[in-house]
């Protein structure tokens, strides 16, 4: 029974003569090398070899005959299998034909008639003065300094406490966490309320101990729902010094091509325009793909969907680990649920690629070796790798044709976006 229209099943038969020859050859090899007590090597009777090694012999005969017979039958029926077939209902006897059924998937049959009718208006991208000033403030924020406050007083709202702290679980479980040089903004929007309330009024050299109960919706999932005990020592009080927006500050940035505040604003505007243009183009292409998927619905092979799920999860996990995901947390993840949650989006990825490949065929889009080399070189330079080494790595993993196919899809989508 077919799971989807992409699944096929063929019946395969290998003649008794071919089976007999393969069985005899395998049996002779086992006789030659078999080591059985009471017999000299190469002199073990075939009946004893057969009784001792029958499962291995059967497996060897099947491995020798089944793949070739399957591919010949698939070719005869003009079928191109995806992935490895599932062999079922296999029968094998020494002097009888080898019979089995092979289940596998093939690419779906579909057309892209009318793909040129797809139309999505591109969004306009504009940058206003408020965007520029916001980015300018962010740049200035990166240039702030913190000066010591020498007054004999306690911490007040707006101050930054230079602190050392140790956190422990009140029940005594887990390892304590210690940090010796932390800045805590008293009353700051990002500061946990419990820290502000307990440290307000504390003077340098004084210590304070308190508990913090983290709510379930805490951004840091490692702390969600937990209560930690903190022992905090205040080392000093600092105030934040924000530089004035003037040409002197600009020169301190140390970029020869930027000498004035107007130069900074111009550079910010150009960067924001590029960023917003890229974002608008991305949204435009996403909208085109959405229309493409809606216009051409069809089932896709599960084997390709599973591969797409693997790629999605691998990419997501790499990003999480780059953000500090610990191996212990990774082990606690329900990967089967994560995989199932990605099945729908992964199926759309596969269908979109199949559609774009078909459109690339219709538009006679080809990727030259020079274009492929350029893409590899740019990717290598971006990752700090040697282009030749990256190319060799891709060749060993059969990645060159995958890259060529992806570039064809990209060009096809670019063509749809321009029409």
Full DSSP string of 183-226: EEETT-TTS-HHHHHHHTTPPTT-EEEEEEEPPTT-SSTTTTT-
Which of 1-5, 68-72, 162-166, 290-294 shows the lowest mean pLDDT across its residues?
1-5
- pLDDT at residue 387 above 70? yes
- pLDDT at residue 402 above 50? yes
Query: What integer pLDDT is reported at residue 43 of this predicted model?
Result: 62
The DSSP secondary-structure symbol of 174 reads S
- pLDDT at residue 54 above 90? no
Query: What integer pLDDT is reported at residue 418 of this predicted model?
Result: 87
Average per-residue pLDDT for the chain: 88
> What are the residues facing 238 on neighbouring strands?
148, 160
pLDDT band at 330 (very low <50, low <70, confident <90, very high): low
Quick: pLDDT tens for 291-322. 999 999 999 999 999 999 998 888 887 777 77
For residues 89 and 173, the model is more confident at 89
> What are the residues facing 91 on neighbouring strands?
99
Biggest CA–CA distance in the chain, Å, is: 102
Q: In this structure, are residues 381 and 333 in contact, taking their beta carbons and an 8 Å threshold? A: no
Which of 102-111, 131-140, 321-330 shows the lowest mean pLDDT across its residues?
321-330
Among residues of the chain, what percentage have pLDDT more than 70? 94
pLDDT band at 337 (very low <50, low <70, confident <90, very high): confident
Quick: pLDDT tens for 100-122. 999 999 999 999 999 999 988 88
- pLDDT at residue 1 above 60? no
Quick: pLDDT tens for 245-273. 888 888 888 777 788 888 889 899 999 99
Question: Which domains, ranges and CATH numbers included, belong to the chain?
Answer: 7-105 (3.30.70.1050), 109-144+247-296 (no CATH), 145-241 (3.10.50.40), 297-418 (1.10.3120.10)
Query: What integer pLDDT is reported at residue 275 of this predicted model?
Result: 92
Among residues of the chain, what percentage have pLDDT more than 90? 54
Q: Has this prediction a pTM greater than 0.75? A: no
For residues 30-53, average pLDDT: 69
pLDDT band at 2 (very low <50, low <70, confident <90, very high): very low
Query: What integer pLDDT is reported at residue 321 of this predicted model?
Result: 72
Quick: pLDDT tens for 184-235. 999 999 899 999 999 999 999 999 999 999 888 888 877 888 889 999 999 9
> Terminal CA-to-CA distance of the chain, rounded, Å?
43
CA distance 265 to 381: 30
For residues 113-133, average pLDDT: 88
Q: Positive or negative, the Cα torsion across 12, 17, 22, 26?
A: positive
| Backbone conformation region of residue 157, classed left if phi is above 0, alpha if psi is from -120 to 50, else beta | beta
For residues 236 and 256, the model is more confident at 236
Query: What integer pLDDT is reported at residue 37 of this predicted model?
Result: 66
Task: Tell me whether residue 287 is exposed, middle or buried, using C-beta atoms within 10 angstroms of its C-beta: 0 to 12, 13 to 18, 19 or more.
Answer: middle
Measured in whole angstroms, how far is the alpha carbon of residue 195 from the centre of its chain? 37
Q: Positive or negative, the Cα torsion across 217, 219, 225, 230?
A: negative
- pLDDT at residue 243 above 60? yes
- pLDDT at residue 40 above 70? no
Collapse the DSSP code of 176 into the 3-class scheme (helix H, G, I; strand E, B; otherwise coil) and give the result: coil
- pLDDT at residue 67 above 90? yes
């Amino acid at each position: 029974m077919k799971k989807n229209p992409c699944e096929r099943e063929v019946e395969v038969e290998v003649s008794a003569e071919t089976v007999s020859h393969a069985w005899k050859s395998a049996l002779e090899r086992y006789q030659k090398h078999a080591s059985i007590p009471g017999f000299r090597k190469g002199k073990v009777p075939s009946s004893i070899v057969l009784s001792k090694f029958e499962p291995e012999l059967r497996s060897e005969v099947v491995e020798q005959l089944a793949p070739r017979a399957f591919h010949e039958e698939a070719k005869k029926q003009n079928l191109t299998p995806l992935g490895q077939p599932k062999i079922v209902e296999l029968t094998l006897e020494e002097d009888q034909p080898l019979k089995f059924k092979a289940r596998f998937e093939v690419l779906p049959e579909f057309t892209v008639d009318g793909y040129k009718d797809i139309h999505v208006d591109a969004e306009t991208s504009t940058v206003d003065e408020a965007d520029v000033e916001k980015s300018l403030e962010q740049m200035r924020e990166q240039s702030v300094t913190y000066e010591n406050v020498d007054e004999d007083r306690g911490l007040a709202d707006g101050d930054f406490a230079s602190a050392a702290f140790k956190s422990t679980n009140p029940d005594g479980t887990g390892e304590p966490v210690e940090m010796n040089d932390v800045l805590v903004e008293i009353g700051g929007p990002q500061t946990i309320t419990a820290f502000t309330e307990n440290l307000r009024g504390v003077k340098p050299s004084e210590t304070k101990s308190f508990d913090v109960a983290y709510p379930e919706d805490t951004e840091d999932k490692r702390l969600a729902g937990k209560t930690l005990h903190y022992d905090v020592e205040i080392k000093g009080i600092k105030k934040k010094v924000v530089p004035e927006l003037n040409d002197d500050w600009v020169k301190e940035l140390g970029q020869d091509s930027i000498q004035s505040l107007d130069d900074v604003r111009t550079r910010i505007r150009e960067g924001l325009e590029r960023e917003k243009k890229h974002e608008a183009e991305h949204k435009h292409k996403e909208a085109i793909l959405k229309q493409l998927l809606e216009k051409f619905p069809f089932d896709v092979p599960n084997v390709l969907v599973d591969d797409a799920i693997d790629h999605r999860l691998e990419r997501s996990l790499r990003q999480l680990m780059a953000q500090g995901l610990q191996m212990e947390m990774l082990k606690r993840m329900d990967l089967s649920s994560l995989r199932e949650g990605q099945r729908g989006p992964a199926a759309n990825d596969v269908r979109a690629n199949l559609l774009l490949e078909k459109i690339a065929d219709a538009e006679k889009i080809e990727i030259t070796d020079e274009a492929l080399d350029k893409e590899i070189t740019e990717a290598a330079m971006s990752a700090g790798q040697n282009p030749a080494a990256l190319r060799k790595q891709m060749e060993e993993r059969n990645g060159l044709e995958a890259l060529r196919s992806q570039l064809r899809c990209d060009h096809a989508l670019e063509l749809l976006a321009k029409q």
